[in-house]
Amino acid sequence: MIKNFNFCIVDDDDIYQFTVIKTIKALNLAKKIIAFSDGEEALDFMIKNLHKDEELPDVILLDINMPIMDGFQFMEEYIKIKPKLGKKITIYMVSSSVDTVDIERAKKISEISDYIIKPIKKGELKSIVDKLIDEGNED
């Protein structure tokens, strides 16, 4: 049986959020999906729930270009709070940017598992969950 995970989508594109949420639900991959329009909202949520593993995401799908706090700024702040988290969180940078500067910058951040170019496909979402199960990150 597939274990379900908490997904977090951090992206300012409402249509993209809607599509990814619908796909995750259709594939029955998540027990909970939370979405934020910018990195600051997501970071605030994580800080408020630092010690509540059941609230924190298992997977974050993080966009780069967002207002207020972009994906790279989020990662800078996430790295600061990571030691306080009692839970391993897998982060994927998901962006429409094909700029090699963005891709290389993301690859240099060890907390980012991979860089996925939008739109994220069903197979990529399944493979994210399969990888989590293989690593033993299920509940």
Residues β-bridged to residue 90: 59
Contact 87, 137 (CB under 8 A): no
**What's the CATH fold of domain 38-118?**
Rossmann fold (3.40.50)
Q: What is the pTM of this model?
A: 0.94
Percent of all residues in the chain with a pLDDT value above 70, rounded to a whole number: 96
> Rounded to an integer, what is the distance from CA 136 to the centroid of its chain?
18
Per-residue pLDDT tens for 9-44? 999 999 999 999 999 999 999 999 999 999 999 999
CA dist 81 and 47 (Å) reads 8
* Domain ranges (residues) in the chain: 38-118
CA angle in degrees (0–180, nearest 5) for 124-77-120: 15
**62 forms bridges with which residues in the sheet?**
10, 93
The Cα–Cα gap between 17 and 21 comes to: 6
pLDDT tier at 138, thresholds 50, 70, 90: very low
User: Does residue 7 register a pLDDT over 80?
Assistant: yes
DSSP state of 122: H
Contact 114, 92 (CB under 8 A): yes
pLDDT of residue 86: 82
Q: Are 92 and 62 in contact (CB under 8 A)?
A: yes
- Which amino acid is present at 97? S
Bridge partners, residue 91, by sequence: 60, 112
CA separation, residue 23 to residues 8, 28, 52, 69, 119 (Å): 13, 8, 26, 26, 12
